[in-house]
Amino acid sequence: MAFLEFSHLHKEFSGSIAVQEFNLDVEQGEFISFLGPSGCGKTTTLRMVAGFELPSSGRVTLAGRDMTYVPPNKRNVGMVFQSYALFPNMTVAENIGYGLKVAGKPKTKIKHRVDEMLALIHMENFYGRYPGMLSGGQQQRVALARALAFQPQALLLDEPLSALDAKIRLELRMEIRRIQQQLGITTIYVTHDQEEALSLSDRIVVMSQGRIEQIGTPYEIYKTPSTEFVASFVGQLNLVPVKILDMEAKQGQLGEHIFQAGRLAEKFSPESPCLAVRPEEINLGHQDGHNNLQGKVESIHYLGSIVRIRVEVGEAHFLMDLFNDHKLIMPKVGENCNFNFPAEACWLI
Amino acid sequence: MAQSKQTPSLLSTNPSKPKSSINLSWDWLGVLPFAFFIIVFLILPSSRLITDSFQDAHGNFTLHNFVMLFEDPLIVKAYYNSIQISVVTSLIGGVLGFLVAYAITIGGAPGWVRTGLITFSGIAANFGGVPLAFAFIATVGRTGFLTALLNMAGFDIYDQGFSLYSFLGLCLAYNYFQFPLMLLTITPALESLRKEWREAASNMGASTFQYWKDIAFPILMPSILATMLLLFGSAFGAFATAQALTGGTLVLASLLIGTQIRGDTMGDANLGYALAVGMVVVMAFTIGLYALLQRQTSRWLR
Amino acid sequence: MNHKTRTSLWAWLWVIIGALYFFVPMYGTFDFSLRMIKGQISLEAYRVIIGDPLFQEAIVFSLEMAVITILISVILFVPTTYWIHLRLPKLRPVVELITLLPFIVPTIVLVFGLIRTYGGPPFSLTNTGETTNILLVGGYLVLSMPYMYRAIDVGLRSIDVRVLTEASLSLGSSWWDVILRVIVPNLRVAILSGALITFATVMGELVLADFLVRPALGPYMVEIGKDRVFEPAALTIFSFAINWAAMGLIAFFARGGTAQQITGR
């Protein structure tokens, strides 16, 4: 029996289905991300764990106990909100200690725990400050400490970093992972940012329109996406319509180029076959043994460490990501160029 | 718009800083009409009353009038009654207004109910004076609609000691504009109680009671108190309703000033002025506290 | 959350109590006003009122005063508020304090001061009806100032005054053009709200009119209330209808304006 189980979870809101047939087993101490675009049902599912939404059907079990209809204030899970939700009339210390105060713990114990938590988030000097005087990042750290202070069985985070600046987001991301691993607490993290999900999680649940698209480790999700949605949502992906020459040998044709694909996707659609290849797999120039194509450089996007080139091949176009090191020779817009990618790096979908 | 020739400072090149003093004097011309209006119709009359209140019948400076405010039994009673009714109606109106506001926000009453009550509150909050008095006379006066209805059910409220033309009756009438005012002011405050606070509290194990005790009420308190002060001021300064309903049987500060204006009933004109100034002092104090609390509110409830 | 149903019952209770408090007096008054002729429902009370020459005089007078007050207040407050927003933003807290003054100085005290200051020599404004009207309108202006200012202030804050003015000036318009053609049209709803509240205030006002002895609607109502029974109820409904119409128009034009616009606080 897994630590946290979702079984056949289903949620409807006056006619429209928010979550359907959601099944997941989470082991103790795992860091799971729910990843998907807005409206895919990830937050709704999280809220069903917290008790703020009741499922239309299905079950949620935590540590062997059926939690599906338990009131939210009796579930013993800690939640971190996107908007921090710190109580403005309480100091940092009072916020963090609130869960313990509500549970009737003695003052000395609360103080001790609060000190512990402040040390954990490296904010010892902020004991008596009010949330209004803190920056976004600081508030979110306090919110995290608050959610962990009363030692819940699981930690739930609802897009906790979306409201923060990019730099703070990066710092805080690592903080969250560090703390999670230090405490070993089972965590569910909801986000629409694939970079966050990929860098933080033990496993990712990719969702779209209320359904699970794929469950897997970050590596699996990225390298072997099982559906077109996952492939294009996680990381960049070139999806080029092609003609199939030989299904068995996974050979296809694009314009006058013949190419070899590495595999056939699970959800391959024969009516509209496409070639899928990640931009970072494509290189400039000609390489024996690889698929070699030719096209016209349509535009060049300078992204700092990466240069993204958009190449047109007849009607289709490819995005190519090249490392911006000193060896790079930049083509010119409008020029013809050769590019290549290995067969194993692409697939038919 | 001449400027003295000197090395341009950072201030003068910054467009958002106040302009040089010469510019300022032209700008101030624009508020001259308004200033004139305020001075003529508000400042001068008020200051006249203030200066007169410090004088005796011969025009000499004296504090005697203000001393009398605390010694003359009629005046003391008038202030006492005024304060009493203001406190009572601000409490009752405040509590009722809060409960109804709660019902239409967090309580989840349907949208049409909410719109209806808010619109009606907008009208009722400004409804006062003689029409309000008439309305209550027609409803719970001796031959009023409700009185008759209750009579038919065998319940004579006047026999039971109730009278509209008393302190209680005036309270009832005052609340007609007190509680809508509370409703209108508190509803936005209740709405700005973030849903996440409730959820976070619940998440940490707090019951509904604990949430209200530890979080919601403390956050709302400045707003509630501020509005109650507004209610207090409303009742304290009210004249028309009180006169129409009690006609002088209940001694109130505003009514006393009224009789003073009509004819010097207290035998000392300057005492009347002191009365008026006393009223202004009470109101100023009330508004001052109100402004302080408002600032506190905006800190926590955006 | 599953305690929602219990909250709703509690909510309905207070909604009903609130609604009753509002409607029972109004209904009672309305019922009362229809019973002038014994034993039957009629509009007799209203007929008597409308036919009363004193009523006609009172309502005409009040309407005149209301219109004059509204005109002066628009001409006075709109440019002033605009100017403060644009050129003297530091004055805003001062002006907001000033708008609290009518509350700090209750009407009864204000009228006392007006009579005392301008009643005797050298002004002697209370000697004739026309000159007393100056004091009356002045008083009305003071009463309506907070509402007017708030309404215009809210309206100005919702449009970027500085940008609009600069854009307009850079296109070659004069100051008057800016005010009349750019600012005022954008403030239509705000001005209308302020005007309607002022209207309702003036029509229902008693203290100023009574103590300055002017034949307005308020003093008329007091007179009628002295020895008639049914007519006062009709007048109340009438007064209520005026308020309702004013607020209804505001709501219509503002399409769901904030409570601040309605109460002016």
Please report the DSSP string for B140-186 in residue order.
HSTT-HHHHHHHHTT--TTTTT--TTSHHHHHHHHHHHHHHHHHHHH
3-class SS letters over chain A:
CCCEEEEEEEEEECCEEEEEEEEEEECCCCEEEEECCCCCCHHHHHHHHHCCCCCCEEEEEECCEECCCCCHHHCCEEEECCCCCCCCCCCHHHHHHHHHHHCCCCHHHHHHHHHHHHHHCCCHHHCCCCHHHCCHHHHHHHHHHHHHHCCCCEEEEECCCCCCCHHHHHHHHHHHHHHHHHHCCEEEEEECCHHHHHHHCCEEEEEECCEEEEEECHHHHHHCCCCHHHHHHCCCCEEEECEEEECCCCEEEECCEEEECCEECCCCCCCCCEEEECHHHCEECCCCCCEEEEEEEEEEEECCCEEEEEEEECCEEEEEEEECCCCCCCCCCCCEEEEEECHHHEEEC
Question: In the 8-state DSSP scheme, what is residue B55?
Answer: B
pLDDT digits (tens, 9 = 90+) for C166-191: 888 888 888 777 777 878 888 888 88
- What value does the mean pLDDT of chain C take? 83
Q: Has residue C125 got a pLDDT over 80?
A: no
A41 CB-side CA count, 13 A:
23
Which of A87, A103, A150 comes nearest B197 by C-beta? A87
Where does the pLDDT of residue A212 fall: very low under 50, low under 70, confident under 90, or very high at 90 and above?
very high
Q: Answer yes or no: do B35 and B96 share one domain.
A: no
Is C142–B233 a contact, with Cβ atoms under 8 angstroms apart? no
Helix ranges (DSSP H) in B30-107: 32-38, 44-53, 64-71, 73-104
pLDDT digits (tens, 9 = 90+) for C3-19: 444 557 888 888 899 88
The confidence score (pLDDT) of residue A202 equals 95
Contacts of B207 in chain A (CB under 8 A): 73
pLDDT digits (tens, 9 = 90+) for A61-97: 999 899 999 999 899 999 999 999 999 999 999 999 9
Q: Is residue B4 part of a domain?
A: no
Q: Answer yes or no: do B141 and B272 share one domain.
A: yes
Q: Is residue B28 part of a domain?
A: yes
Task: State how far the alpha carbon of B45 is from the alpha carbons of B54, B58, B259, C114, C115, in Å.
Answer: 15, 20, 18, 5, 8
Task: For strands A31-35 and A203-208, give the pairing.
Answer: parallel
Contact with chain B for residue A327, Cβ under 8 A: no
The confidence score (pLDDT) of residue B14 equals 38
Place of tokens 């030989």: A246
Q: Is residue B46 part of a domain?
A: yes
Q: What is the mean pLDDT of residues A28-52?
A: 93
Is C25–B30 a contact, with Cβ atoms under 8 angstroms apart? no
Is C2–A72 a contact, with Cβ atoms under 8 angstroms apart? no
Contacts of B200 in chain A (CB under 8 A): 79, 81, 85, 87, 146
Is B196–A132 a contact, with Cβ atoms under 8 angstroms apart? no
Contact with chain A for residue B299, Cβ under 8 A: yes
Mutate to test the interface with A, among B204, B221, B296 (most CBs of A within 10 A): B204
Q: Per the CATH hierarchy, to which homologous superfamily does domain A4-231 belong? A: P-loop containing nucleotide triphosphate hydrolases (3.40.50.300)
The confidence score (pLDDT) of residue B119 equals 83
User: Any bridge partners for residue A276, and if so which?
Assistant: A239, A347
Contact by Cβ (8 Å): A8, A17: no
Q: What is the mean pLDDT of residues C217-229?
A: 86
Angstrom distance (rounded) from CA A20 to CA A12: 8
Is B131–C101 a contact, with Cβ atoms under 8 angstroms apart? no
Is B138–C4 a contact, with Cβ atoms under 8 angstroms apart? no
Contact with chain A for residue B188, Cβ under 8 A: no
The domains found in chain C, sorted by start residue, are: 51-263 (1.10.3720.10)
Contacts of C196 in chain B (CB under 8 A): none
Burial A117-137 (b: 16+ CB within 10 A, else e): bbebbebeebeeebbeebebb
Q: Is residue B12 part of a domain?
A: no
User: C257 vs C71, which has greater pLDDT?
Assistant: C71
Structure tokens at C83: 């100017």
pLDDT digits (tens, 9 = 90+) for C77-117: 988 888 888 888 888 888 888 888 888 999 999 999 988 88
B207 in helix, strand or coil? coil
User: A310 vs A349, which has greater pLDDT?
Assistant: A310
Contact with chain A for residue B51, Cβ under 8 A: no
Contact with chain B for residue C24, Cβ under 8 A: yes
Q: Has residue C261 got a pLDDT over 80?
A: no
> Which chains pack against A, by 3+ Cβ pairs within 8 A?
B, C
Contact by Cβ (8 Å): C93, C194: no
Which of B196, B204, B299 comes nearest A99 by C-beta? B204
Structure tokens at B163: 């009278």
The confidence score (pLDDT) of residue A118 equals 94
The confidence score (pLDDT) of residue B153 equals 82
Q: What percent of chain A has pLDDT over 70?
A: 99
Contacts of A73 in chain C (CB under 8 A): none
Contacts of A51 in chain C (CB under 8 A): 1
User: A247 vs B201, which has greater pLDDT?
Assistant: B201
Angstrom distance (rounded) from CA B186 to CA B192: 10
Is A74–B207 a contact, with Cβ atoms under 8 angstroms apart? no
Report ipTM for this prediction.
0.81
The confidence score (pLDDT) of residue C7 equals 55
The confidence score (pLDDT) of residue B152 equals 83
Is C197–B175 a contact, with Cβ atoms under 8 angstroms apart? no
Q: Answer yes or no: do B106 and B187 share one domain.
A: yes
Give chain B's residues under pLDDT 50.
1-22
Listed range (A271-275, B12-16, B266-270, C199-203) with the worst mean pLDDT: B12-16
Which of B127, B139, B279 comes nearest C243 by C-beta? B127
Is A72–B199 a contact, with Cβ atoms under 8 angstroms apart? yes
Q: Is residue B251 part of a domain?
A: yes
User: Where in chain A are the domains?
Assistant: 4-231, 236-348
User: A40 vs B62, which has greater pLDDT?
Assistant: A40
- What value does the mean pLDDT of chain A take? 90
Q: Answer yes or no: do B272 and B241 share one domain.
A: yes
The confidence score (pLDDT) of residue B265 equals 67
Contact with chain B for residue C176, Cβ under 8 A: no
Class at the top of the CATH hierarchy for domain A236-348: mainly beta
* Residue B84: CATH number of its domain: 1.10.3720.10
Q: Answer yes or no: do B155 and B41 share one domain.
A: no
The confidence score (pLDDT) of residue B23 equals 52
Q: Answer yes or no: do B149 and B214 share one domain.
A: yes
Burial A298-317 (b: 16+ CB within 10 A, else e): eebeeeeeebbbbbebeebb
Q: Answer yes or no: do B213 and B177 share one domain.
A: yes
Q: Answer yes or no: do B164 and B199 share one domain.
A: yes
Q: Is residue B1 part of a domain?
A: no
Number of folded domains in chain B? 2
Angstrom distance (rounded) from CA C125 to CA C134: 8
> Which chains pack against B, by 3+ Cβ pairs within 8 A?
A, C
Contact with chain C for residue A74, Cβ under 8 A: no
Place of tokens 């504009």: B177
Mutate to test the interface with B, among A70, A102, A151, A155 (most CBs of B within 10 A): A102
Residues of C with CB under 8 A from a CB of A: 1-2
Residue in C closest to A72 by C-alpha? C1
Structure tokens at B100: 């109804």
At C182, phi and psi to the nearest 5? -110, -50
> Which chains pack against C, by 3+ Cβ pairs within 8 A?
A, B
Residue in A closest to C2 by C-alpha? A71
The confidence score (pLDDT) of residue B21 equals 46
The confidence score (pLDDT) of residue B22 equals 44
Contact by Cβ (8 Å): B183, C14: no
Q: Which domain holds residue B46?
A: 19-51
Place of tokens 């100032």: C145
Please state whether A76 falls in left (phi above 0), alpha (psi between -120 and 50) or beta.
left
Where does the pLDDT of residue A23 fall: very low under 50, low under 70, confident under 90, or very high at 90 and above?
very high
The confidence score (pLDDT) of residue C2 equals 39
The confidence score (pLDDT) of residue B17 equals 46
Residue in C closest to A73 by C-alpha? C1
Chain A closest-CA separation from residue B222 CA (Å): 11
User: Any bridge partners for residue C224, and if so which?
Assistant: none
Mutate to test the interface with B, among C2, C109, C143 (most CBs of B within 10 A): C109
Q: Answer yes or no: do B43 and B117 share one domain.
A: no
Q: Answer yes or no: do B35 and B115 share one domain.
A: no
Contacts of C104 in chain B (CB under 8 A): 280, 283-284, 287
Q: What percent of chain A has pLDDT over 90?
A: 58
Contacts of C1 in chain A (CB under 8 A): 51-52, 71-72
Contact with chain B for residue C211, Cβ under 8 A: yes
